[in-house]
Structure 1
Amino acid sequence: MQRKGSVKKVVLAYSGGLDTSIILKWLTEEYDCEVVAYSADLGQGEELDHIPAKAKKTGASSCHIVDLKEEFARDFVFPMFRANAIYEGRYFLGTSIARPLIAKAQMEIAAKEGADAVSHGATGKGNDQVRFEIAYYHYDPAIKVIAPWREWDLKSRTALEEYARKHDIPIPTSKKFPWSSDRNLLHISFEGDILENPWAEAPEEMYQLTVRPEDAPDQAEYVEVEFEKGDAVAVNGERLSPANLLAKLNQLGGKHGIGRVDLLENRYVGMKSRGVYETPGGTILEEAHRAVESICMDREVMHLRDSLVPRYADMIYNGYWFAPERIALQALIDQTQQSVNGKARIKLYKGHARVVGRDSASDSLFNVDFATFEADDVYNQADAEGFIKLNALRLRIAAIQRQNRK
């Protein structure tokens, strides 16, 4: 493959880890082009501190770090949580929902820099290559995409480490922490190494956001989360921005060991893959959101929305955030949230977040006069007989036919 001279400037999604550090050097050698490094600040914290210096040392002409925390929580996480979207019933989509935003900002930098190509560190076996590249083409159908894992001959971790040593690139992985991880405000994920054995328990030292549930406080803690039109706006009466609210719930949930998930998921490319996730704040948020919905949402509206959630979660997992079907479905979901105004009280204890109360001053559909077990003047219980007989009519007719056949 003729590479040199085919690209003049490329913007690389750069994490500072082994893979993208090698990719940065590889791009300068194989394509003989200018490489602009770009990192998205989605709440990784100190992980970003070393990135500009390392990128320039490895060969980048410049390095952009873009603070996307508020946009991530407000425009990506919160719309997804209006749907209670969980992939295959377990995964809160923490990595999946971050990729379209990372790609969006990357394409904005490419436009400003006049770059003719973009690059990422996703492998040819994973989901992220799809998520990144679908988003790239959404913004520029003519952009050149360089996916080194699909081009180079560095097919193993050993080969990567040899390349790194040859080019004086620090190797960040160690024998103590050999797994790969991805972190943002919503979660942290872990893959590889011991996790490739689906029978092996994830080692305790892997976890970063949550304490071991057995070591969590012996005293339960209660947290109140308030919602307006389906979005969380306050914790324990304190109004917070979306990013700060999610960070607050992460702190509360992590202290009580909440949000650990170990699962085998079905990747879009066809294989099964094991991942371990910590989503402390998201776990509390989803429990609280469902609680407020339970008191505010019409039954049929809720059931219709819920019937579409698996498809919606698939769209996000598979990388179709910018696709017209996701946008259309989001409009329906957002409409269902107009009456989701209220607050939920969640009990945090030893790895569990459980709703113990919900209230809505303006939109509650709970009416104690109808629901009470005590005497009332608004519901005639005798009406239920006709209701039952009409709903049982098809079953009664089928029973008559069975009897006649005998």
Structure 2
Amino acid sequence: MKEKVILAYSGGLDTTVIIPWLKENYDYDVVCVCIDVGQGNELDGLEERARLSGAVKLYIEDVIDEFCDDYVVPCVQANAVYENKYLLGTSMARPVIAKRLVEIARAEGATAICHGATGKGNDQVRFELGIKALAPDLKIIAPWRIWDISSREEEIDYCHAHGIDLPFSMNNSYSRDRNLWHISHEGLELEDPAAAPDYDHLLVLGVSPEKAPDEGEIVTMTFEKGIPVSVNGKEMKVADIITTLNELGGKHGIGIIDIVENRVVGMKSRGVYETPGGTILLEAHQQLEELILDRSTITLKKEMGNKFADVVYEGKWFTPLREAIQAFIESTQQYVTGEVKFKLYKGNIIKQGTTSPYSLYNESIASFTTGDLYDHRDAEGFINLFGLSLKVRAMKMAEVEKNKK
């Protein structure tokens, strides 16, 4: 009996070519696994395509709710954003995909897992670190680091030579990755940092701010312990909240970023990311936190959130460090409960009011009118102590200067 290999399968040209290549070079039975994290109609027709390409079996695994509940929510609670812009759309989907690939490899008795990530990108790191952490005994095969194929034309020729005549076009388009949280775009004019993006041709989830409606739209959200639970008064599971916010945000030109980021492998790359719902969700969560968390907690949480973003971006989800940071983040979310209202208008999210039963905002203290809990005269003693080190240093420096004369 032949050994089995699990192929992370999308149905695109790259993973289609890999099927006959694995059979030819390793004599494996190829089991294709497509992990559904919200790619939408990209999954249409995969069964026939996998069969015609020579796979012995195809799994289509719906992990959308697991992705949203166990991977997206912790990133939202952490306010995790990589390099101040990237909302980790591709990054946080990779560990749930790796986890499911390993589970199916165990069920099938496979000896290897194969992925179609290139040797220049981040995904090879994320997939392989996940697999190593969960199944260190499994062999990992990365064809793009091994084979001699170097172009789309050569891939199509390889398919034809192995009796696969699927309708792959030679169109020159963007390289995209899509899930429920976002869609990324790379390639074409984006490879030149000096070139402006062609948004009319590029955008998928929404419109540019210029083409958004001239009238804003009020949206209300509620959270319980840092987890979103409703939009405009309707309670929904997290996946449906993201879907709803994607529609609202896309309509109003929310969440389009153009970034030159630093990849794990050392190079810089430019991409345009559309994250309409995620951008709204993170902004709403932060609006609520600033009402509830104390200054010291917010300060440390920002540092931990940035570290959490780095850990996720680098593919280190299945590590003690990620678990430890997440435990801290979750402890800060105990009272992050309340309602956030905002207006969406031409790419902007504009506050319209925030309420929480755990709000630390006290009008009596904050008001210019003197309240019972704050005596203006107390500030003098506080400032004297708060600035004591500055005063002592200034006195010492004055003494030093005097002694020089």
TM category (shorter chain) comes to over 0.9
Q: Write the deviation string for residues 37-67 of structure 1: whole angstroms up to 9, x where unpaired.
A: 1111111111101111111110111111011
Is 2:218 the partner of 1:222? yes
Q: CA deviation at 1:354?
A: 2.6
Percent of aligned pairs with the same amino acid: 50
Structure 1 CA distance for aligned equivalents of residues 130 and 165 of structure 2: 30
Residue 36 (1) aligns with residue 36 (2): no
Which residue in the other structure is 2:353 paired with? 357
TM superposition shift of 1:173? 5.0
Q: What is the CA RMSD across the aligned residues, in angstroms? A: 1.4
Residue aligning to 2:183: 188
For 1:273, give the aligned amino acid. Answer: S
Partner of 2:157: 162
Structure 2: which 5+ runs fail to align? none
Distance 1:203 1:174 in 2: 20
Show the counterpart of 1:105.
Answer: 100
Q: Counterpart of 1:211 in 2: which secondary structure?
A: coil
1:287·1:354 contact (CA, 8 Å) conserved in 2? no
Match of 1:291 in 2: 287
Q: What is the correspondence of 1:287-326 to structure 2 with a 5 Å cutoff?
A: 287-326=283-322
2:209–2:253 Cα contact (<8 Å) kept: yes
Q: What is the DSSP-based 3-state SS (H/G/I as helix, E as strand, rest coil) of the residue aligned with 1:95?
A: coil
Shift of 1:159: 2.7
Structure 1 runs of 4+ aligned residues shifted over 6 Å read none
Instruction: Rate the CA distance shift 1:399–1:351 in 2: closer, same or farther, 3 A.
Output: same
Q: Does 1:334 align with 2:312?
A: no
| Matched residue type, 1:232 | P
Match of 1:380 among 375, 378, 383: 375
Q: Secondary structure at the match of 1:328?
A: helix
The yes-or-no answer on 1:239 pairing with 2:208 is no
Residue by residue over 1:54-81, the C-alpha shift from the partner in whole angstroms, topping out at 9 and shown as x without a partner, is 1111011111101111111111001111
Which runs of structure 2 are paired with 1:4-403 in the superposition (5 Å)?
Answer: 8-167=3-162, 168-170=164-166, 172-175=168-171, 178-204=173-199, 205-360=201-356, 362-403=357-398
Q: Give me the whole-angstrom Cα distance separating, in 2, the residues matched to 1:229 and 1:112.
A: 36
Q: What is the letter of the counterpart of residue 268 of structure 2?
A: K
Structure 1 stretches lacking a partner, 5+ long: none
Structure 2: how far apart are the matches of 1:173 and 1:256? 33
Deviation per residue, 1:85-133 (Å, 9 max, x gap)? 0000000000000000011111111111111111100111111111101
Q: What one-letter code is carried by the residue in structure 1 that aligns with 2:358?
A: D
Check whether the contact 1:190–1:275 (CA below 8 A) recurs between aligned residues. yes
TM-superposed deviation, 1:165 = 3.9
State TM-score, norm by structure 2: 0.95
Distance in 2, matches of 1:72 and 1:188, equals: 15
The count of residues paired between Structure 1 and Structure 2 equals 399
Q: Do the aligned residues in 1 keep the contact of 2:152 with 2:170 (CA within 8 Å)?
A: no
Per-residue CA deviation, residues 276-321 of structure 1 (Å, 9 max, x unaligned), is: 1000000000110001101111221121111222211110000001
CA gap of 1:27–1:256, structure 2 versus 1, over 3 A, is same
8 Å contact 1:186–1:282 — kept in the other structure? Answer: yes
Deviation at 1:160, TM superposition (A): 2.4
Contact 1:230–1:341, Cα closer than 8 Å, also in 2: yes
Q: 1:196 to 1:164 in 2, by over 3 A?
A: farther
Assess if the C-alpha contact under 8 Å between 1:13 and 1:106 holds in 2: yes
TM-score for both structures, normalised by structure 1:
0.95
Q: 1:169 to 1:354 in 2, by over 3 A?
A: farther
Q: Which amino acid aligns with 2:65?
A: E
Shift of 1:174: 4.4
